[in-house]
Amino acid sequence: MCGIAAVLSRHAPIDPETVRAATAALHHRGPDGRGHWRSDDGLVALGHARLSIIDLATGDQPISNEDGTIQVVVNGEFYDFERIRAQLEERGHRFRTKSDSEIVLHLYEDYGPECLHRLRGEYAFVIWDGRNHRLIAGRDRFGVKPLFYAQHDGALYLGSEAKALFAMGVPARWSHDAVYAGGFIIPGERTLFRGVNAVPPGHYLRATRESHRLHQYWDVAYPRDDRAGPPRSEEEYVEGFREVLEDAVKTRLRADVPVGCYLSGGIDSCAVLGLASLHHDGPVRAYTLTFDGPQYDESVIAEEMARRAGATYQPIPMRQEDLANHFRAAVIQSEIPFINGHTVAKFMLSRAVRESGYKVVLTGEGSDEILAGYPHFRRDMLLHHTVGQDPDETERLLAKLVEDNQVSRGLLLPEGDSDTGDVCRTLLGYVPSWLEAMTGTGARMRGLMRDDFLEPHRRTDVIATLLSSLDVRGRLQGRNAVHGALYLWAKTALPHYILSNLGDRMEMAHSVEGRVPFMDHNVAEYLHQVPVSMKIRGMTEKYILREAVKDVITDTVYERQKHPFLSPPATLHPEEPLHALMQDTLRGSAAASVPFLDQKKLVAALDGLRDPDADFGHQVITDQVLTLALSFVFMQEALGITA
């Protein structure tokens, strides 16, 4: 994994220091070397900050083709690259390096942008094609690796992080529309920064000196319910899934440096560790975060799993003081607000991994997004798959679902009133539970915002704006409610939060490469064709995964219900440093300068935390929006964002 940057100027030659400033801003993503290239006319420049994982000796970038007419910079990993390289060599291509990155260069020579269909992995890349005077910037299918762009002052700028664009001179300004929408219920190309866009997952950007345009090459594709494939037995579904998942894990163990695993008490990371242990030479090193409080700590379950897999277990204790001390640094890296301290915990976890001498880990991120693991998907199953259901039993199960998920109240299940608008129900016939929950969180966040900021947006239908960016007829209509909810989650929360705040950005903050087997497109495409009853069986989530990996996980993990990865809320521990940080910061001058936050409302919310009659659920819900506000303050202060 690395950091990449590029500039395509329309008119004036590019100052060589421009791209150098970008790679300097991305040093944390690639501390092992920097490379730069500028065209003879000075109108195109590429930059690369390298984290050496494969081909430690000759893999420096940018890389050029045989005659020097095409250049590439890559962030990420291409799997199965040896086979593709051999095929390319048979066709006459000559390689300058032994790295996986170079295959995209020669694939592009043969196939143009269609080469993206032949790539497997987590990646973002920029190619300058001097023959055809065009730039191609591609991003992997789910958006595991970030890629941003902005047009400013006669040039197109690209970078792995927004801070790289800011370093090159792109203004750092809040996007008021995105802030109002909450930052997560926004189309894939939107960001919180005005004029800064993301290349959406499964897309590439094609640019010339005259214009640029996005093109989609892949999409999540659930079949219509009336066009189901040929029936298969439960055993066939399970065996097929085990095959593709195990291959995804095995493939991601390929590296020229040691590979470890992140491990929690959840089935996702336990499955990855269990399968990895079958193919890893010697014990796998497993890293586990531990927290104070039984509602949040999973170390006992994780340690049992590590013993089962023969892994070397390394617990990483996490205290409220640690979260307070590193909150600001973590949110600077994420460039996205936090809703809980769990992101800071992942920041600290990655630091511990790097300090132990490792820089590659396998993680379980993405499993809930393709296997319907979150409680809101089970709620959708209960509400919208009602054939043969007893209404009284449904009500009982819905109440039990809420009772079993107290630590994530208002976050993963709807809580109180939410404004979901009319368009979603009109187009789909239902509103996904996660959208109800997230619009509720957004409404509570807007309760802390200035009235003059809110007024121009009051008639905005956030969900309708999202749906207008998607192929509703082709991808959503005719699908069952769970698959529809999964599709929308994959377009929003997955790339905007899960793969960023809990994945790439926290890992790369300490130059750690996270590899995500569940985001392998072979795994996802297999599961797209699996009926929803194999994903949710009664109240058991991820049923097919449980059955597929039963032989490599503990009975405890096999039988355990999903528990979201969260850290103890700051507001539950008024005597701890994280709570003090929240109180001091939100009452201070930095919070007063954020153009959309109303400090009087913030202070009222902080004062309300002292209410002795406030229950646990109220505190958890209030903590979420105050954590968002705290994030906005530090983002503005550190990134120099203006109104």
- Enumerate residues 6+ apart whose C-beta is below 8 A from 331: 337, 338, 343, 631, 634, 635, 638
Neighbours of 232 (CB within 10 A): 15
Q: How far apart are CA 169 and CA 153, in angstroms?
A: 9
- Cis peptide leading into 62, omega within 30 of 0? yes
CA 401 to chain centroid: 26
Angle at 367 between CA 365 and CA 373, to 5 degrees: 120
For the purposes of burial, counting CB atoms within 10 Å of the CB of 256, is it exposed (0-12), middle (13-18) or buried (19 or more)? middle
**CA 162 → CA 168, 197, 328, distances in Å?**
10, 9, 17
Q: What amino acid positions are annotated as catalytic residues?
A: 2
Q: How far apart are CA 69 and CA 46, in angstroms?
A: 14
CA 209 to chain centroid: 31
Q: How far apart are CA 174 and CA 194, in angstroms?
A: 6
Task: Give kind and range of the element (H or E) at residue 137.
Answer: strand 134-139
Q: How far apart are CA 455 and CA 298, in angstroms?
A: 44
Q: How far apart are CA 383 and CA 394, in angstroms?
A: 8
- Enumerate residues 6+ apart whose C-beta is below 8 A from 84: 78, 103, 107, 118
Name 362's bridge partners: 261, 515
Two structure tokens written together for 144? 């595991």
What are the backbone angles phi and psi of residue 186, rounded to the nearest 5°? -130, 155
Looking at the chain, the number of H-run helices and the number of E-run strands are 29, 19
